[in-house]
Structure 1
Amino acid sequence: MPRNKEFDYDEKLVTARDLFWKNGYNATTLNDLVDGMKINRSSLYLTYGNKHDLFLKSLNNYIQKKDKQYRQAADRGTDALSAIRNIIHSVLESALKDNNCLFTNTVFELGTTDKEVRAILANQTSNAVTLFEELLNKAKERGELQTERSIPALANFLVSGLVSIYNTHILFGDEKLTRQTAEILISTVG
């Protein structure tokens, strides 16, 4: 007779996500995961699959968290441009608080070598670009944004700029410089 799982799936997934977030994929060992999640190795494999499967689940969990963060920040905007500013400020505050980003780390650690990971990252980037395109088009239609720039190119630039906020803070740990990076990004849309 199979035993019932004696742990909360989502809670343990968050623990694994945070280990990958802190250490990166390659530096997180199975022993780290077993010890951190406080489950035995066979439960890990039976519930989450191998380390790579668990990482993909963790990355998707992180992306869902970030997508929710972006949408909530955008919803607090009174217009399309303030929604964009809110998203950028939300990323800035996350960078300052967390001093790390699983998405950004994964782009540089696995984005060129792991096709499954690259597909997840590309899909999330496309979703973020679409969100910015919608907001930029809305701002342009309402006369809030005066630009001759390509909206898709500007949306891609803004999403790339979100990564630059994390990069600046991770590499230099300089809050003033990180805030200036975010403000420059905001200034591209007024």
Structure 2
Amino acid sequence: MPRNKEFDYTEKLEVVRNLFWEKGYHATSMHDIVDVMKLNRSSIYDTYGNKHDLFLKCLSNYAEFKENQYTKAASIEGRGIEVLEYIIRDVVDQTLTDNKACLIVNTIFEIGSSDDSVKQLLLNTGASLYQILEHSIGQALEDGDIKSSSQPAVISRYILTSFSAFWSHYILTQNKKEVMEMVDFLMEQIKK
């Protein structure tokens, strides 16, 4: 008869996700994982798989969190441009509050180009986030609040790639005001 798990699956996943977030995939050892999860190796392997499987589960869990964040932000009432601006500011505020880069951005730079399963997960997540942004952009174009002749897909890619630039500036300066000025500039560019 199998033994019941005596720990919360999601809670432990979030604990180790934060470890990967802090140290990165390559710098995180199985010893680190055992220490932070406070589980023995066999429980980790039986429940989550090897380090790579565990990382994919963590990344997937985080991607779901980000999709939920975007979806919730996109559900506010207002014109398309107001919704879009709210999403952008919400994402930037969350990053500055967490005081760490998006786990997805970190992962892109660390192993996104060398690990096909990670790359595919990131592409799928990106597609979901683009779709959420594109909906608001399409509405803003329809409302005449965005004058650009660029396609919503191009604008959404521009927005998502801007997030890593905001974070890199904040890492160096620790100046939230400057980052928010950059967000204001981004909104000005989108509206042109």
Q: What is the CA deviation profile of residues 85-118 of structure 1, one whole-angstrom value per residue up to 9, with x for unaligned ones?
A: 1111111111211121211110100111111111
| Separation in structure 2 between the aligned mates of residue 171 and residue 53 of structure 1, nearest angstrom | 33
| Separation in structure 1 between the aligned mates of residue 85 and residue 58 of structure 2, nearest angstrom | 28
TM-score, scaled to structure 1: 0.93
SS at match of 1:68: helix
Q: For residues 6-155 of structure 1, what are the structure 2 equivalents within 5 Å? A: 6-100=6-100, 101-155=102-156
Shift of 1:76: 2.0
| Separation in structure 2 between the aligned mates of residue 185 and residue 77 of structure 1, nearest angstrom | 22
Q: 1:189 to 1:77 in 2, by over 3 A?
A: farther
Shift of 1:155: 1.7
Q: What is the CA deviation profile of residues 5-50 of structure 1, one whole-angstrom value per residue up to 9, with x for unaligned ones?
A: 1111111111111111111111111111111111111000000000
Tell which deviates more after alignment, 159-168 or 96-105: 159-168
| Separation in structure 1 between the aligned mates of residue 172 and residue 54 of structure 2, nearest angstrom | 28
| Number of residue pairs matched by the alignment | 190
SS at match of 1:188: helix
Unpaired stretches in structure 2, ≥5 consecutive residues? none
Q: 1:165 to 1:50 in 2, by over 3 A?
A: same
Q: 1:68 to 1:160 in 2, by over 3 A?
A: same
Query: What code does the residue aligned with 2:54 have?
Result: L
TM-score, scaled to structure 2: 0.92
| Separation in structure 2 between the aligned mates of residue 73 and residue 59 of structure 1, nearest angstrom | 21
Number of the residue aligned with 2:162: 161
Contact 1:20–1:28, Cα closer than 8 Å, also in 2: yes
Unpaired stretches in structure 1, ≥5 consecutive residues? none
| Separation in structure 2 between the aligned mates of residue 118 and residue 171 of structure 1, nearest angstrom | 27
Q: What is the CA deviation profile of residues 148-171 of structure 1, one whole-angstrom value per residue up to 9, with x for unaligned ones?
A: 223221121112112222232234
